[in-house]
Structures are given as structure tokens and as C-alpha cells.
């Protein structure tokens, strides 16, 4: 290989290395600053496209332009009314000034640590300055009462601030403390809240006691209703039996009257009918009074003796 060709190859390689070191491409999700010997120079590069730096002397620090996530630690915090709760929070933030961000925080790891101090501290302050009801509720809503027994239970105490406003307070105060860090907190929310174990057990016991009281109330009302139903049943039954007895006696009386009338009418029709009636009555009496072991002594002047004598 000729020396001239080797020289051109070396120049091409050096040019390629210098080009690689002097050109960087910034996409839509990134922003960057240029440092020289560790110190930032120039304005931040925020527009996507091709950018140039001095090779080997200047370096590029890239930062995310998108919304970033902050997830707080679950902490035990006392409220103003001395209720201990576990609070879990989260937030969204962005780098608004990459130059200031680099000077104050250097990288995202340091920023996350700084946000831990700021947001956790403001969360503790806000919870300690407000009652539990203000933290767990947002509005003074009217409870929906579906049963009469709920009227006594569903009496909600009035809140002064509310959860949404407390979140806004924390967001505002945290942004005041991050204004010189080159970042802005976009949103802050309570992810989860819960009582500590000791307080939660007391709350559960109070809930169970209240429900048992309601159950006893229902049970007492049911027993009272049952006794009233039984009393009404006994009264109605006695009334029905009395009415039935009265109607039965009336029917029996009318039947006896009709029978007597029929007997009298039959007796007065003619002599033969009277004789037939007497004969049937005598036979009926005889049949009812005799059995296989009975000896009958009849007077000669009795009607029965006359009928038996006529039958011979």
C-alpha cells in the first residue's frame, strides 16, 4: 500500500472520530447541556435535532424532557386530632431548567432524593395540621339514606378543608421549595391511607359494637311484632269461635223449631198419620232399648203392646 493512501485512510479515521465526538443528536424526549472541564457552558439545548460540540473538551449531559415519576415511602404520621395513620403518596414532576438542575442536583437520582425530603416533609406538616376527617374526605356531601335505621348512623361531621385542598397545599409549598432546583412538581396525590394496627382494631371494634346494637334493635322490634301478631291471632280466634258457636246454636234452634213444626203438622193431618207416627216412635224406642240379652216386660195397656199384638 502506498504511503499516500495510508495517510488518507488515517485522515478519514481521525475525521470520523472527531465527527463522532463533535456531533450529537437530540430527540424529542431529551434536553441537554454542554460542559467544558465539568462546568456548563452556553444555553441548554432543548430543541430536537443535530448539535455540535468541541471534541474531547466538551461533553454532553442529557436530561429527560418527559414527565417523571416520584413514589413516596409509606410513613406513619400523626394527625392534628392525634390519630396515627400510614400515608402512601405519589407525584409527577419535570425538569424545567436543565442548566439549573445540573448545577443544583446533577442527576435524577439526586433529584429523587431531594424530592423525598421536600414532599415527605410537606406531607407530614400538612397531615399534622389537619384532622383525620379533612384528610380522608373531600366534600361535605349529603349521605344517601336507604333504610330508616341509617338515619342515626349516617350523620357526617362537617369538614373545614378537605383532602383535595390539602393535596393542593402540599403541591404549592413543595413547588416553592423546588423553584431554585430547575424542576416543577406537576401533581401530588395521596395514594393510600390506613390506620395503624392498634387504631384500626379499635375502629373495627366500634363498628362491630354499632352493628350489634342495630341487630339487637331489629331483634327487639321483631320480638315485639311477633307478640303483637300472636295476641291478634288469639283475639281473632276467640272471636271466630264465639261467632261460630253462636251461629251453630242459632242453626240448631231453627232446626229444632222446624222439626217440632214438622212433627206437629204430621200429627194433625189425620188419624192414620198419627198412628203411623206413634208406631214409628215406639219402634225406634224399642230398637234403642233392646239388645240380645234384654228381657222386656210390657204392660198390657201400653201402646207398644197394642202394636205388637196387632202384628200377630
CA dist 112 and 109 (Å) reads 5
The whole-number pLDDT of residue 42 equals: 84
CA dist 37 and 59 (Å) reads 8
Residue 207 lies in a domain: no
In a shared domain, residues 114 and 25: no
Residue 133 lies in a domain: yes
The whole-number pLDDT of residue 262 equals: 76
Q: Tell me how many degrees the CA angle 7-12-18 measures, rounded to the nearest 5.
A: 125
What is the secondary structure of 194-260 as a DSSP string? Answer: EE-HHHHHHHHHHHHHHHHHHHHHHHHHHHHHHHHHHHHHHHHHHHHHHHHHHHHHHHHHHHHHHHH
In a shared domain, residues 110 and 44: no
In a shared domain, residues 56 and 74: no
In a shared domain, residues 24 and 97: no
The whole-number pLDDT of residue 258 equals: 81
DSSP state for residue 145 in the 8-state scheme: -
Residue 218 lies in a domain: no
Could you list the mean pLDDT of each consecutive 10-residue stretch along the chain, which spans 312 residues?
A: 60 61 83 88 87 82 93 89 89 94 92 94 93 85 61 66 92 94 94 80 78 84 87 87 86 81 65 63 68 68 67 58
Residue 85 lies in a domain: yes
In a shared domain, residues 107 and 166: yes
Helix, strand, or coil here: 36? strand
DSSP state for residue 79 in the 8-state scheme: -
| Domain C-terminal end among 195, 230, 261 | 195
Q: What is the pTM of this model?
A: 0.60
CATH of the domain at 166: 3.30.479.30
The whole-number pLDDT of residue 309 equals: 67
The whole-number pLDDT of residue 97 equals: 93
When divided into structural domains, the chain yields a total of 3
Residue numbers of the domain that contains 312:
270-287+300-312
Amino acid at each position: 500500500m502506498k504511503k499516500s493512501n495510508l495517510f488518507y485512510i488515517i485522515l478519514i479515521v481521525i475525521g470520523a472520530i472527531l465527527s463522532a465526538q463533535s456531533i450529537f443528536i437530540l430527540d424529542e424526549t431529551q434536553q441537554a447541556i454542554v460542559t467544558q472541564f465539568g462546568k456548563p457552558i452556553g444555553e441548554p439545548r432543548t430543541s430536537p435535532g443535530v448539535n455540535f460540540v468541541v471534541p474531547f473538551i466538551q461533553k454532553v449531559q442529557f436530561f429527560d424532557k418527559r414527565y417523571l415519576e416520584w413514589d413516596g415511602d409509606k410513613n406513619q404520621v400523626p394527625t392534628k386530632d392525634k390519630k396515627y395513620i400510614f400515608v402512601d403518596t405519589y407525584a409527577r414532576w419535570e425538569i424545567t431548567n436543565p442548566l439549573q438542575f445540573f448545577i443544583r442536583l446533577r442527576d435524577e437520582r439526586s433529584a429523587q432524593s431531594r424530592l423525598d425530603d421536600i414532599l415527605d416533609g410537606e406531607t407530614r406538616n400538612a397531615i399534622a395540621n389537619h384532622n383525620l376527617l379533612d384528610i380522608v374526605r373531600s366534600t361535605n356531601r349529603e349521605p344517601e339514606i336507604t333504610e330508616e335505621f341509617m338515619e342515626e348512623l349516617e350523620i357526617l361531621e362537617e369538614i373545614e378543608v378537605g383532602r383535595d385542598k390539602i393535596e393542593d397545599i402540599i403541591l404549592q409549598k413543595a413547588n416553592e421549595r423546588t423553584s431554585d432546583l430547575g424542576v416543577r412538581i406537576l401533581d401530588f396525590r395521596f395514594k393510600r391511607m390506613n390506620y395503624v394496627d392498634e387504631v384500626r382494631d379499635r375502629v373495627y371494634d366500634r363498628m362491630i359494637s354499632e352493628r350489634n346494637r342495630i341487630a339487637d334493635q331489629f331483634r327487639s322490634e321483631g320480638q315485639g311484632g311477633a307478640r303483637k301478631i300472636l295476641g291478634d291471632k288469639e283475639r281473632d280466634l276467640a272471636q271466630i269461635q264465639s261467632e261460630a258457636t253462636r251461629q251453630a246454636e242459632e242453626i240448631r234452634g231453627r232446626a229444632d223449631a222446624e222439626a217440632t213444626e214438622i212433627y206437629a203438622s204430621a200429627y194433625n193431618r189425620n188419624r192414620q198419620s198419627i198412628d203411623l207416627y206413634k208406631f214409628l216412635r215406639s219402634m225406634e224406642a224399642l230398637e234403642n232399648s233392646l239388645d240380645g240379652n234384654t228381657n222386656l216386660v210390657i204392660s198390657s195397656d201400653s201402646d207398644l203392646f197394642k202394636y205388637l199384638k196387632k202384628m200377630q
